[in-house]
Amino acid sequence: MIRKFTINGTEVEISFNAKTHRYTITINGVKNHSPSVSTILKLGDTFGIASAAGRKNYQDTLHEVLCVGEGTEFRDKDELLEKLILIKKEAANKWLQSANLGTLCHEFWENIPKGIIQYDEDKKIQRLQYALYNYHLKNVTKTNYTERLVYNDNLGTPYAGMFDADLEIRGERVLMDLKTYTKKSNTSTWPIQLSAYNHAHTLELGIEPLPRVIIAIDKDTEEVKEFWYRDSQEKHLEVFKSYLHISQFLKEKN
């Protein structure tokens, strides 16, 4: 995905590689890689965060599959090891299914304004897509931009990212991102992430910061919820700047 635009009289090209999740910025013919908003908020510890999430997923699967009580005795260590290997494979499958579910929901949402409505064959994913379509039909009155690539360099350290849409919800223009989540999900960085996108997007357009909204669909209940962040743009942007500077410090230290 590539986007070209002009900011402060400078021509900028930003490209995003979905496989490597890397952003490449070309300014005056010079290419550089820019950290993404989501990576900055993890302070570079993507491996540690993924590892922690993976351990939690394995623990939950272990609890679900390995029922304590009758029938849990094993003849020897080999039989126990065989059972644990099967549980590990099931945990890995759950992890991949969860990631795939989020991708399919995002792709479905982005295609709605284009008039492309294609439901997945999986019944669970279908129900989530139905819920998203019904929400969109009832609440989204106009779509200005979708999958918008943004870049900014006026906070001391350049950053890049991509948000889901600049649209109108019941007539009010907002910057929004779509999330799939559960009651165990960490939502604390959502408004901080949106503040970074909002700053880059509205500065480029020369307009006031927009209200920020997360449209979140619960993977368990299939309920669509709105999380609004109206009057805290500057506060959350200051928090993002702290993340940005720490991230740059860690990068230079390494």
Judge whether 167 and 140 are in contact, CB under 8 Å: yes
Tell me what pLDDT residue 42 has.
87
Q: Which CATH number fits domain 2-253: 3.90.320, 2.30.30, 1.10.1060, 3.40.50?
A: 3.90.320
20, containing H or E segment: none
Q: Is 21 helix (H, G, I), strand (E, B) or coil?
A: coil
Per-residue pLDDT of the chain (254 residues; tens, 9 = 90+): 899 988 778 889 999 998 888 999 999 889 999 999 999 998 744 434 344 444 455 455 555 555 544 455 556 666 666 766 666 665 555 544 555 788 899 999 999 999 999 999 989 899 999 999 999 999 999 999 999 999 999 998 999 999 999 999 999 999 999 999 988 888 999 999 999 999 999 999 999 999 999 999 999 999 999 999 999 999 999 999 999 999 888 877 65
Domain residue extents for the chain: 2-253
Q: What is the pTM of this model?
A: 0.79
Tracing tokens 């491996």 back to the chain, one arrives at 47
Tracing tokens 């230290």 back to the chain, one arrives at 253
Encoded amino acid at 213, one letter:
V
pLDDT at 133: 97
DSSP one-letter string for 25-92: EEETTEEEEE-BHHHHTTTT-HHHHHHHHHHHHHHHHHHHHS-SSTT---SSHHHHHHHHHHHHHHHH
